[in-house]
Amino acid sequence: MEETGWTPDMALGIPLFDEAHEALAEQIKTLMHSKDEDFAAGLEQLVDCLEADFRHEETLMEAIDYPALHSHREQHARVLSKLNQLDLDDLKNCRSTVGLVLPWFHAHLATADTALAIALQMSGLNLDDAAKAN
């Protein structure tokens, strides 16, 4: 089955999130189709972008005292841990593992990030100011 990158139904209605998430989904898809010799650099770039996106989300969760902060942060940590533990000498396993990130990402957006988006909208936090602070 062909993996799907960003689709309009993944939008959370928060431009700051939607733009970052669209870029991440496309980056994952691109990495899956990268040449073997480009994979390590692409994986490093993906991990860096995921870390930045996750850190931003977690900062916003802290700002609104989000009740599901710990479980949401744990989901982020598990994905990063798996990606950071990959053995680049086993490219087949690396590609297989990265191939699981996009379905996880779709599910994470539909559940944890959707709940976070609702909480952020209800909090009244000025997301434009919060984005500038990061």
Q: Residue 15: its pLDDT value, please?
A: 81
Q: What is the pLDDT along the chain (134 residues), one digit of tens a residue?
A: 345 677 777 778 888 788 888 898 889 989 999 999 999 999 999 999 999 999 999 999 999 999 999 999 999 999 999 999 999 999 999 999 999 998 898 899 889 999 999 999 899 887 766 555 55
For residue 124, being part of any structural domain is answered with yes
Counting Cα atoms < 13 Å in the Cβ hemisphere of 114 gives 10
Give the range of the structural domain holding residue 28, as residue numbers without chain letter: 15-131
Q: Residue 73: its pLDDT value, please?
A: 97
For residue 113, being part of any structural domain is answered with yes
For residue 1, being part of any structural domain is answered with no
Q: Residue 16: its pLDDT value, please?
A: 79
Q: Residue 12: its pLDDT value, please?
A: 84
For residue 76, being part of any structural domain is answered with yes
Q: Output the 3-class SS for 65-78.
A: CCCCHHHHHHHHHH
Reported pTM: 0.85
Q: Residue 1: its pLDDT value, please?
A: 38
Q: Residue 131: its pLDDT value, please?
A: 53
Residues 133, 114: Cα–Cα separation, whole Å: 22
Residues 84, 19: Cα–Cα separation, whole Å: 24
- Structurally, the chain folds into a number of domains equal to 1
For residue 75, being part of any structural domain is answered with yes
Helices (H), 1-125: 15-32, 36-63, 69-84, 91-108, 114-123
76 phi and psi, to 5 degrees? -60, -45
Q: For residue 61, what is the domain's CATH number? A: 1.20.120.50
